[in-house]
Structure 1
Amino acid sequence: MKIVHCSDLHLGKRVSGNKDYVNKRYRDFFIAFATFVDKVRELKPDICIIAGDIFDKKEINPDILSKTEYLFKQLRDNVKKEIIAIEGNHDNARILEESWLEYLQEQNILKVFYYNKDFEEKNYLKIDDVNFYPVGYPGFMIDEALTKLSEKLNPNEKNIVIVHTGISGGTNTLPGLVSTSILDLFKDKAIYIAGGHIHSFTTYPKEKPYFFVSGSLEFSNIQNEKSDKKGFILFDTDTLDYEFIEIKHRKRIKKDFSYTNFSDLENEFENFVKNLNLTDEEILVISMSVNNNDYINIENLENIAEKNGALKTYILIKNILNIGDSDESSSDLSIEEIEKNLINTWNISEIENFSKNFIRLKELFSNNDKDSFLELFDKTLEVNGDDN
């Protein structure tokens, strides 16, 4: 049986920026999914797995639904047996009465599964000689959920697990990530675990992997995602062979820039950008170290880059603030201002939103509003995670 596995489509995503950039990026996610559908048309797989985050938000408008339904109908026509999808954290509908994923299921386009307390019994289907266990998005319950499922699996059968998670560790602080010690429980019990949530291609273990994250089809958090490769996985349940198949997507260029003469900074930066030979379609992500207390007008640099061929430019400033060097420097600051200055040192891409969320999280925690706290905490980490 041939299976294709993709994840994190984030259809309908709206980014901030000028009108041209916003519209292009809105279309990018549909174009990437359409490219995937074209590849599926060539491959004619038996099964298509989508491991969460079909939509970028729980609420969608008619244009998003229309484009999504059109593409999914084409996908359905080119998958021999079944499209199996799970809910991710972005399209998680626990606060809504109904999910738009249910609508797609009602149109007989796909089968969708959600994480619930009886998932190990209810979230199951058998196709030919393969058992499929679509877990969904367990969030903070990930270790408990997968441990419970691992105890159920028969190692003498072909088992495939589908779960919206990636591997925890390093600097990645996203909620809902799984440890390798939990994944080790599935050795010799699952021939394939289809993951998501993280937007870069990942496999585990290094030798003879059985856990796979396909990554997103398009950049969702373009400033922080590690890999420039986007695509999906083709897997054979008989031979256990797999292949990562790349697809075209919006081009991102990541560069480091340093200046030699602060008084001539803008000219140096303009020459730096001109040498990149941009075509008005690339997104630039520039990491820039600042000397001493030099003030950098980021908006001016972004405008220079965009006048010289960048579709959009993000400039990430390193070491712009030093906290704690002088008691005098912070003696007149409010607690909120001190917190914001501290957050500035964490190399976070959306400082203003993160600072506001940080204050709100403290309020929710003080008021013991657990549900609202966890929802906002999840959302805050998603925006600033390395790959989500």
Structure 2
Amino acid sequence: MKIVHCSDLHLGKKVSGNREYVKKRYEDFFSAFENFIAKVKEINPDVCIIAGDIFDKKEISPDILSKTENLFKELRSYVKKEVIAIEGNHDNSKALEDSWLEYLHEQSLLKVFYFNKNFEEENYLKIEDINFYPIGYPGFMIDEALKKLSKKLNSDEKNIVIVHTGISAGENTLPGLVSTSILDLFKDKAIYVAGGHIHSFSTYPKEKPFFFVPGSLEFSNVQNEKSDRKGFILFDTDSLEHEFIELEHRKRVQKNFIYNDSTNIEAEFEAFVKELNLTGEEILVISIGIKNNEYINLENLENIAENNGALKTHILIKNILSIGNSEEGTSDLSIEELEKNLISDWNISNIEKFSASFSELKELFSNNDRDSFLELFDKTLEVNEDDN
């Protein structure tokens, strides 16, 4: 059986910026899904797995739903047996509510499964000799959910687990991530664990992997995603071989800029950008080392880049604040990292949780999503007060 596995489509995502940039980025996520569907047509797989975050938000516009429904009609026609989808944290419904994924399910365009709705009793599907266990997004219940499931699996059968999670490691502090010790419970019980949530391709373990995260089809967080490779995974349940298939997506250009004279930085920066020969379609991510805490007008630099062919420019600052114990004493700081350093001085009990919520609060505020903003704001205050 041939299976294609993608995740984190984030259809309907709206970013901040000028009108042209907002429109193009809105279309980018649909275009990336179209590119995926074109490859699926070539492969004609038996099963398509979508491991969460089909939509970027729980509430969607008619335009988003219409575009999505049409694309799924096309996708369904190229998949022989079934399109299996799970809820992710972005399209996660409340316990007593249905998400828009349920509408797609009712149109027979996919089968959708949720963690918070009869997970243990209903999240199972058998196709030929393969047992599928679509978990959904367990969030902070991830360890408990996977432990329970691992005890149920028969190692003599071919089992595939689908869960909206990635591996918790290093600086990755997203909620709902899983440790490798929990994943190891499935080493001899599942031929494939289909993950998501993390937007870059990864596998575990290094030799003979059984846990796979394809990453997002398009950049959702342009500044912080590590890999420029975007695509999906093709898996053969007979040979147990996998292949990561790359897809076209919005181009990101990452560069370091070193200036000689702060009084002439704008001229130096313009010459630097012109050498990149940008076409007006690239997103530019620039790291700049600031010398002696000099003031630099970043907005002017962004305007210069966009007047010289960048669709959008993000500037990351180096050496403004010190993070960690790097021997060289340098690090590239995103806006989120700068905020975390500032928040650390606010006498907040759980900085990691609060700073993660702070970034989402900003996004909700910029999108005028008042209800979600107030709901998350209340939860953030509760986390700070209770420290849990």
Q: Give TM class, smaller chain.
A: 0.7 to 0.9
Q: Distance in 2 between matches of 1:89 and 1:123?
A: 17
Q: Aligned residue for 2:168? A: 168
Q: Aligned residue for 2:18? A: 18
Q: Could you say what the CA RMSD is over the residues aligned between the two structures, in angstroms?
A: 2.6
- The SS at the match of 1:234 is strand
Q: Aligned residue for 1:99? A: 99
Q: For the structure 1 residues 361 and 110, does the alpha-carbon distance in structure 2 shift closer, same or farther, using more than 3 Å as the test?
A: closer
- The SS at the match of 2:103 is helix
Could you tell me which runs of 5 or more consecutive residues in structure 2 were left unpaired when the two chains were aligned. 324-337, 346-351, 366-372
Pairwise mapping of residues 1-388 of structure 1 onto structure 2 (< 5 A)?
1-94=1-94, 97-116=97-116, 118-321=118-321, 342-343=342-343, 353=362, 363-365=381-383
- Larger RCO, structures 1/2 (Cα 8 Å, 6+ apart): 1
- The SS at the match of 2:253 is strand
Deviations 1:82-121 (A, max 9, x none): 0000000000011772210000000000000000374233
| Mapped contact 2:361–2:377 kept (Cα < 8 A) | no
| Mapped contact 2:8–2:51 kept (Cα < 8 A) | yes
- The SS at the match of 2:293 is coil
Q: Distance in 2 between matches of 1:278 and 1:104?
A: 40
* Deviation for aligned residue 1:13: 0.1
* Deviation for aligned residue 1:58: 0.1
Q: Distance in 2 between matches of 1:178 and 1:156?
A: 25
Deviations 1:315-347 (A, max 9, x none): 011232579xxxxxxxxxxxxxx9886249999
Q: Aligned residue for 2:349? A: none
Q: Aligned residue for 1:377? A: none
Q: For the structure 1 residues 367 and 204, does the alpha-carbon distance in structure 2 shift closer, same or farther, using more than 3 Å as the test?
A: closer
Q: Distance in 2 between matches of 1:107 and 1:96?
A: 21
Give the total of aligned pairs: 355
Q: Which amino acid aligns with 2:362?
A: N
Q: Which amino acid aligns with 1:80?
A: K
Q: Which amino acid aligns with 1:120?
A: E
Q: Which amino acid aligns with 2:49?
A: I
| Mapped contact 1:321–1:344 kept (Cα < 8 A) | no
Could you tell me which runs of 5 or more consecutive residues in structure 1 were left unpaired when the two chains were aligned. 324-337, 375-388
Q: For the structure 1 residues 135 and 340, does the alpha-carbon distance in structure 2 shift closer, same or farther, using more than 3 Å as the test?
A: closer
Q: For the structure 1 residues 95 and 282, does the alpha-carbon distance in structure 2 shift closer, same or farther, using more than 3 Å as the test?
A: farther
| Mapped contact 1:82–1:110 kept (Cα < 8 A) | yes
Deviations 1:255-313 (A, max 9, x none): 11121111111111111111111000000011111111211111000000001100000
Q: Which shows bigger deviation, 113-122 or 186-195?
A: 113-122
Deviations 1:208-237 (A, max 9, x none): 100000100000001100000000000000
State TM-score, norm by structure 2. Answer: 0.86
Q: Distance in 1 between matches of 2:314 and 2:103?
A: 37
Q: Which amino acid aligns with 1:74?
A: E
| Mapped contact 2:130–2:158 kept (Cα < 8 A) | yes
Q: Which amino acid aligns with 1:365?
A: V
